[in-house]
A and B are shown apart, each in its own frame.
Chain A
Amino acid sequence: EAGVAQSPRYKIIEKRQSVAFWCNPISGHATLYWYQQILGQGPKLLIQFQNNGVVDDSQLPKDRFSAERLKGVDSTLKIQPAKLEDSAVYLCASSLNGPDTQYFGPGTRLTVL
């Protein structure tokens, strides 16, 4: 069974630039999550999708972050414009039935200069 795929693995940009991350969940997993993990902290949920609908985006900074999951499969997370404090690892996860066992991708490490 293929795992959660994410790309790119690393990205370096300057502040005020835009960036996009891509995630392909495990086949058949209806629920998809995006987390932000700042160095020294635990992952923080940014947004949760159930199929192509948003379940929870309460911690997503909507003035600069956006996410979509067209067709209920893969997803993109965008930051525009980026700030220095957005430097973090962005993790994508998926689950088959609810959150109790989430499968995580390798993450995208973003550095904002």
Chain B
Amino acid sequence: AQSVAQPEDQVNVAEGNPLTVKCTYSVSGNPYLFWYVQYPNRGLQFLLKYITGDNLVKGSYGFEAEFNKSQTSFHLKKPSALVSDSALYFCAVREPGNTDKLIFGTGTRLQVFP
């Protein structure tokens, strides 16, 4: 069965510094990978996805993610963090050819300090 792991419960970074939120996956075949963000008292918002093609995917709000097949990773990155980026980030996977079900990780709380 497909799954994703987010090894860090929380990531702290100073404003202006680069940030990385880690995600590793386990699927059979080629994965469809996603990042969502959840702000307090709001629903999840789609950030970006990897289906096929270029391993570096660019998304909303200046975020990008790098797909690494050999390391089975899909880390979320941003060159310069903003305080407003502070939120809960979820990685998700869908196995193509299976149902449409998205499997979410447990989430990583990003805290950006001024």
Residues of A within 8 A of B (CB): 3-4, 31, 40-45, 48, 55-56, 91, 93, 98-107
Contacts and interface: CB of A to CB of B under 8 A. Distances in A.
A104 B45 contact: yes
A9 to B, nearest CB: 8
Interface residues of B, number: 22
16 contacts: A3-B43, A42-B92, A42-B105, A42-B107, A48-B100, A55-B100, A93-B44, A98-B100, A100-B34, A100-B49, A101-B46, A101-B49, A102-B44, A104-B36, A106-B41, A107-B43
Given A42-B90, A42-B105, A42-B106, A103 B46 contact: yes
Nearest to B32: A100
Contact of B101 (A42, A48, A103, A105): A48
B94 interface: yes
A55 B111 CA distance: 37
B43 A99 contact: no
B43 A91 contact: yes
Contacts of B106: 40-42
A4 B43 contact: yes
Interface in B13-46: 32, 34, 36, 41-46
